[in-house]
Structures are given as structure tokens and as C-alpha cells.
Amino acid sequence: EADIYQTPRYLVIGTGKKITLECSQTMGHDKMYWYQQDPGMELHLIHYSYGVNSTEKGDLSSESTVSRIRTEHFPLTLESARPSHTSQYLCASSYLTGLNEQFFGPGTRLTVL
């Protein structure tokens, strides 16, 4: 059973606010990911990390930033939310080596008014 958590599950916020989406996993996975997904669309990778102090941008350009100070924690921050950031954000983790599946968190549904 995967143990990866995201908070909040739902967030409605006004334009211009700073927000942080939390993601934590208790499986000791080195690699963590953030995806953005709109209904009926593919998952777009926006950030990933190979381990502590490692962060990389994904395929989809994003105005968000991430940090990886601890193995289990990979928060995503939007400095100034805009309506175009309205989406579902999914966090995932996996082992660094080998062909292993990613384990996903429940997601955060973000609405920016």
C-alpha cells in the first residue's frame, strides 16, 4: 500500500495569493514528481527530484517552484496564483533505480478565482 499524502485536497483562492501545496511520502523513495492534469488531458510533468537538494523542471513550463530539503517532503509553491493555474496537481514518488511504477498521492484540486 502506497503512503503518499497531499494537502490540501481542495483549495479555492483569490488571484495574487501565495500558496504551497504539500506532498509527503513515507516509503523512502528517492524520486518525487509533480504533475498537472486538466480533465480529459494527459498528465504533464512540471517538476521532479532525484533526491535531497535535487530539483528539475519537467516538460511543461510552470511558474511554480519546488524544494527538496528532506527525502520525504516535496512541496510546490506558487508565488502569485492566477486563474490559469486552476488545475489538479498530482504528486508521485518512486525508487530511483529500476523500472518501478510511480505511486501517486490523492491530488490537490486548485481553483484560482
- Judged by CB under 8 A, the stretch of 13-21, 39-47, 62-70, 79-87 that binds another protein is 39-47
Residue 84 φ/ψ, nearest 5 degrees: -70, -10
Out of 45, 67, 75, 86, which residue is the one contacting another protein (CB under 8 A)?
45
To another protein, the closest distance from the beta carbon of 2 in angstroms equals 8
CB 113 within 8 A of CB 85: no
Helices (H) and strands (E) in the chain — how many of each?
A: 0, 11
Are the C-beta atoms of 52 and 44 separated by less than 8 Å? no
Positions touching another protein (CB under 8 A) are 2, 4, 6, 9, 31, 33, 35, 40-43, 45, 90-92, 99, 101-107, 109
